[in-house]
């Protein structure tokens, strides 16, 4: 099963407002940014892996697929709806899927706690 199109963040205006007015956090090797009230009742995500860390697109795409899958499997941890979330991978090492899944559980709980305030 894939992540539906409605749950992907692709609008340039939404991305720029997310970066400018969002709340940032970091749990190595992932930085995240989120903002409330995206105008819909679903959470939208953006996943980024900079070319600076992985020159080969194959590795960048591998990390992006893993991050999207970790989010998809655990998106129920978010009780707050209407969030725009950006995840940026921040390391030149590819971490194991199990570690990344646990990391995303912590990140999503943190986002849920901070967004509910």
Arithmetic mean of pLDDT, 44-56: 96
The residue-averaged pLDDT of 36-46 equals 89
Q: What's the mean per-residue pLDDT of the chain?
A: 94
Name the band, by pLDDT with cuts 50, 70 and 90, for residue 15.
Answer: very high
Long-range Cβ pairs for the range 69-74 (8 Å, 24+): 69/97, 70/97, 70/100, 70/101, 70/103, 70/104, 71/3, 71/45, 71/47, 71/104, 71/108, 72/1, 72/2, 72/3, 73/101, 74/101, 74/104, 74/105, 74/108
Per-residue pLDDT band at 93 (split at 50, 70, 90): very high
* Residues written for the chain: 117
Please say if the pLDDT value at position 26 is more than 90: yes
Instruction: Decide: residue 67, CB within 10 A, 0-12 exposed, 13-18 middle, 19+ buried.
Output: buried
Q: How much is the pTM?
A: 0.94
């Amino acid at each position: 099963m894939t992540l539906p199109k409605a749950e992907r963040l692709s609008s340039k205006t939404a991305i720029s407002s997310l970066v400018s007015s969002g709340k940032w956090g970091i749990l190595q090797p992932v930085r995240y940014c989120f903002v409330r009230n995206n105008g819909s009742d679903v959470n939208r995500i953006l996943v980024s892996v900079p070319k600076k860390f992985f020159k080969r697109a194959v590795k960048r795409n591998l990390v992006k697929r893993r991050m999207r899958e970790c989010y998809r499997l655990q998106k129920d941890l978010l009780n707050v709806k209407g969030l725009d979330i950006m995840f940026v991978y921040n390391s030149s090492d590819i971490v194991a899927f199990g570690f990344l899944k646990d990391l995303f559980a912590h990140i999503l709980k943190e986002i849920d706690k901070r967004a509910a305030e």
